[in-house]
Each structure stands twice: as C-alpha cells, then as structure tokens.
Amino acid sequence: MSPRDRLIAVFVAVLWGCNFLAIHATISHFPPLLATGLRWLVLAVPTLLFVPWPKARPIWLLGYGLGFGTLQFVFLFIGMDVGMPTGLASLMLQASAPFTVLLGAALLRERVSRRQLAGIVVAVAGMAVIAWQRAENAALLPAVLVLLGALSWAFGNLASRKALGPDNPHGGDVNPIHLMLWMSVVPPVPSFALSLAVEDTGEIGRSLATVGSTEGLIALGGLAYIALAATLLGTGLWTALMRRYPAGVVAPFSLLVPVVGMSTAFVVLGERPTWIEIGAGVVVVAGVLLGSYARRQPAVASAVGMGTSPEITSKPRFSVNGSSSAATSTAATSLRETRPGSR
C-alpha cells in the first residue's frame, strides 16, 4: 500500500471513529428513534432522485436495510441514549465481526477456521468482561442494546453479501455504493413509525420546533456528519481502497475506529473508562485482529455501511468492523467474503 493510500485508510478510520461523537450530539437533541429515521432520510431522498437502481434482488436489499440500516441504529442510538458511553459503544459494536462469522456458519453453512474460532473466543471474552463491568455499575442494559445493534449489523452483512453474491441475477453488475445508498431508502419508514408509536410526541415536537437553537443546530451538524462524512465519503474512500488492495491489507486499519472513538470521547466528553474496560477493549481488538487474517483469496467487494458508520470490504473471512453510524463499520461479511458499518 502506498503512503498516500495508508493516509487515506487512517483518515477513513478517523472519520468513522468521530462518528460516535456525531451520534452523541444528534441524540442529545432528537429522540433516538426519530434520529434514526432522520439519519437515513438525508441520504434516501437524493438516492431516490439521482442514484440508479443497484440491480439487486429486492428481498436482500430489504434485509440489508432492516438489519444494518434500521435495527442496528435503533439499538445503538437507544443504547447510547440510556447510558452507554460513546467510546465504549464504538468498541462494543466490533461484536458485529464475530457475530457475522457465526451467523454465516449457522445459516449459510460456511466453515469456520481454527484461527477465526480462536479470534471469536478471545473477542467474546473481552466483551463479556465489559458487560460484567457494566453490570457491576448497574448499566448492563445499554451494553446489551449495543450488542443487539452489532447482531443486527451481522444480519445486514449476510443480506448485503447475498445481494452482491454470485446467486444475484446480475452478478458482478451490482454496484456496492449504489446498493448502500438504496439501502438508505428502507430505514426511514419503520424508524419514524417506531418513533411515533414509542417516543413521546411532545418530545418529538419540541426537538423539531427548537431545531434552530444552538443545540438543534449542533444536532443537525451531527446528522450531516453521519450521513455525508462517515457514510458517503468514508464508504466511498474505503471502497476505492478495497478495489485496489487485498482486504487483508486494508481491513486492519478499521481497528483504529474504536481507538479513535474512545480517545475522542475522552477528550471531548470527558469519558473515563475503567482500567478493566480498557484492558478488555484491548482483548476485543486483539481477538478481531486474530480472526481477520485467513487464507488470501480473490477479493469480492461487499457493502455494509458504519456505524457505526457503513464500510465496504471483501475478504479476509473474519472482517474487522468499525462503526457506525455506526455504524458504518469495516463491514464484515462472513468467511468466504468479509468487510459496516457505517458507523
């Protein structure tokens, strides 16, 4: 990889890591379910008007949009809204990588290598320690919600893989960027419906009526960053890198996402994770890194967007996720094809 492309890879990881600050700013003003719908509406409207149909099967596009676009961010935003620290959220969303591998084995009957299995065990052990630490502080629910977001991302990964895979009637003609953009058309309707059904209508009205306030403008800036910087720019640059280099060369740069996420949360928000959480975070990243190296194969790009920020990847078999919004996350697809994402 050239020095210029290394800098681009680091830049994308920084974009995705800072995405969690943008999420924090957004849900500080808008209710989380409403924010989920608005987050995707920013992309959905221009997509419907200007972006060509990606030639994917509608069923897989719908699964991608519900798993990655809707449920991931619903759980992530609610988890952060009810107390999950911003920095730890960027780390816990890494669970989408082992979840994707396990779901690929269970649902698609894909073989899990010993290295992948070892990486999963190490990563899960680290996340279990963080969950235990959260439970000790009476804050287990936010961690569980973020993990459910990671699991939803994994289901979205499988759907995006099927949309881009060889069984697609258009095969290699499916454009992963177009697929990701058309996926953004799915989440607004269910997100807004959930918001009206669950969230306080008075709070929704106040957040929209005061959008011109300082807090409201900051929230709008957060929405713009999530949609344009983390999703559109980050995903576009990552896709270009994935088309030029093997996934095993590019994907490890996504390990910088939780590092950036936790560091910026420390500097900007004053979050101070315990030493146990920091140590467990190192274990999680080590597990993801261990599982991300597999036998090198021809790359087949697959999209998932982060996180918490979306992100795009092909192989190695156990990919490394960054977020979202997530997500949108190096995007992990499983085993034979791998990664948001996002953030």
CB 163 within 8 A of CB 179: yes
In this prediction, residue 119 carries a pLDDT of 81
Quick one: pLDDT at residue 293?
60
pLDDT for 259-276, tens place per residue? 888 889 999 999 888 888
Distance CA 332, CA 153 (A): 9
Q: Please state whether 83 falls in left (phi above 0), alpha (psi between -120 and 50) or beta.
A: left
Average pLDDT over residues 199-222: 96
Structure confidence by residue, pLDDT tens digits, 115-152: 878 888 888 888 888 878 776 665 788 989 999 999 99
What's the burial of 212, exposed, middle or buried (CB within 10 Å: 0-12/13-18/19+)? exposed
State which amino acid sits at residue 234: G
CA-nearest of 31, 72, 39 to 223 is 39
243 — pLDDT class (breaks 50, 70, 90): confident
Residue 99 pLDDT: 87
- DSSP string for 277-318: HHHHHHHHHHHHHHHT---------EE---TT---EE--SSB
Alpha-carbon span 264 to 94, nearest angstrom:
17
**Residue 185 above 90 pLDDT?**
yes
Q: Locate tokens 């306030």: which residue? A: 213
| Nearby residues of 64 by Cβ (< 8 Å), 6 or more positions away | 156, 159, 160, 163, 179, 183, 186, 304
- How far, in Å, CA of 105 to CA of 98, rounded? 11
Instruction: Give the separation between CA 305 and CA 289, rounded to whole angstroms.
Output: 20
User: Per-residue confidence at 248, pLDDT binned at 50, 70, 90?
Assistant: low
Six-digit token string for 317: 């078999």
Report the C-alpha gap between 26 and 218 in whole angstroms. 7
The whole-number pLDDT of residue 316 equals: 36
Average pLDDT value for residue range 233-249: 80
Per-domain residue ranges of the chain: 3-313
- Tokens 């060509």 map to which residue? 52
Residue 168's pLDDT is: 67
